[in-house]
Amino acid sequence: MMRNGKLFSIIALVIIAIFAYTAVYGLGPIKSVSESIKLGLDIEGGVVVVYEAQTEATGDDLAKIMTQTKGVLAKRVDQLGLTEPNIAIQGDDRIRIELPGVKNVQEAVDLIGKTAQLKFVRVLEDSFAYPEMTINDFKGELILTGENVKDAGISSDQYGNPAVSLEFDSEGTVLFRDATIAVVNYTAKKGQIAILLDDIVISAPATDEIIPSGQAIISGSFDFQYAQDLSSLIRGGALPVNLTEVQTSLIGPTLGKDALQYSVYAAGIGFALVVLFMIGYYRLPGVIASLTLVLYSSIVMFILVGLNATLTLPGMAGLVLSVGMAVDANVIIYERIKEEIKLGKTIRASIDSGFKRALRTIMDSNVTTLIAAVVLYYFGEGPIQGFAVTLMIGIGTSMFTAIVITRLFLKNIALIKAFNNKKLFGVKG
């Protein structure tokens, strides 16, 4: 049994060392956390854009339009891969968007603010359409709009050029099928279905067959980036109102970088003080708690990187708070173990009883905090959601390391005769 305890302890120490080293320095193809994690606007800098809605609506109608516009903009930012945006309605008719880490500012602003009204128009038999025409330059009949598009993605046309694949909803499938039937019945046995974005033709393919499947492809003389942007706009949906850019501000990263550095210093000092206290007061369990805290910190950071999350200063606060909760869980466990040892139980029996007694208290406190974090995430935006996400991840990880890892560590350490001593658990006599 003593060999099993020693073997487990050695393996656990090696795993913790590997996790910690990889998190700080990276290992092989795995980059360090500092190189992999994305930083928020308050740390990395970025751009702030304010749009004004061009509408004569007022009161409840205006509020409804602004809420819909905000939802569409949020989808677009998500589709464009911009992380941790903060989108908020300012006043009655303005929307403020904060975009962290944006490199091509004008491109992002242009794409987000586009009206993106997609239309499919059956070109009448006595007319003709080609790219760059406006809706008034040819005769046509509206078939359907972007509201009937269920999904959009990147594809390629018959020549291997970039294209956008579309999937219509049930209504759009019927409308598009009927339009292709009408086109095929032209005298020439084929006609055009023009595809317009913001009333400008982007593609006008000739159609000589009926398409009943509800799937189509937008092709034209555009590159992969254009196809990617177009599919993102279509998935995000059309804006219910035209927007005018009234303000664009660049935010430098200097202040945020300094704040992050000071936060890291503060977290490091706090961590060191916690380790000294735990070891000084709880002896051997304190050493184990310190090791599991190192493992906890590494796991949390890897989870954030794996989820492609963005670290903000409020997120850092969530991490520090969750570290405190992890320490609190260890304190509760060790106090219960000490009480059991004082009752005359053996070390192994005290560990089992101590964990059972502490479990309910730990679950109550963590679940309560978790509920609060979920509420913050559901009702909050931007940095508040970042705080809630890191707090939720931290709570889940701290419960795992405190209840599972710490328990395994203690039980296996207790198998080693040299460590099976009450004094090493902070109990005198």
**Whole-number pLDDT of residue 403:** 83
Domain chopping of the chain, boundaries: 2-40+253-425, 46-115+243-251, 118-238
| Equal CATH topology for 2-40+253-425 and 118-238 | no
Digit-coded pLDDT (tens) for 323-360: 887 888 888 888 898 888 888 888 888 888 888 888 88
Q: How confident is the model at residue 375 (pLDDT cuts 50, 70, 90)?
A: very high
Digit-coded pLDDT (tens) for 22-44: 877 777 777 777 777 777 777 77
* pTM listed for this prediction: 0.60
Domain 118-238 architecture: 2-Layer Sandwich (3.30)
Listed range (300-304, 312-316, 328-332) with the worst mean pLDDT: 312-316
- Say if domain 46-115+243-251 classifies as CATH 3.30.70.3400: yes
Digit-coded pLDDT (tens) for 257-266: 677 777 778 8
Domain 2-40+253-425 architecture: Up-down Bundle (1.20)
3-state secondary structure the chain: CHHHHHHHHHHHHHHHHHHHHHHHHCECCECCHHHHCEECHHHHCEEEEEEEEECCCCHHHHHHHHHHHHHHHHHHHHHCCCCCCEEEEECCCEEEEEEECCCCHHHHHHHHHCCCCEEEEEECCCCCCCCCCECCCCCEEEEEEHHHEEEEEEEECCCCCEEEEEEECHHHHHHHHHHHHHHHCCCCCCEEEEEEECCEEEECCEECCCCCCCEEEECCCCCHHHHHHHHHHHHHCCCCCEEEEEEEEEECCHHHHHHHHHHHHHHHHHHHHHHHHHHHHHCHHHHHHHHHHHHHHHHHHHHHHHCCCEECHHHHHHHHHHHHHHHHHHHHHHHHHHHHHHCCCCHHHHHHHHHHHHHHHHHHHHHHHHHHHHHHHHHCCCHHHHHHHHHHHHHHHHHHHHHHHHHHHHHHHCCCHHHCCHHHHCCCC
Would the pLDDT of 69 be above 70?
A: yes
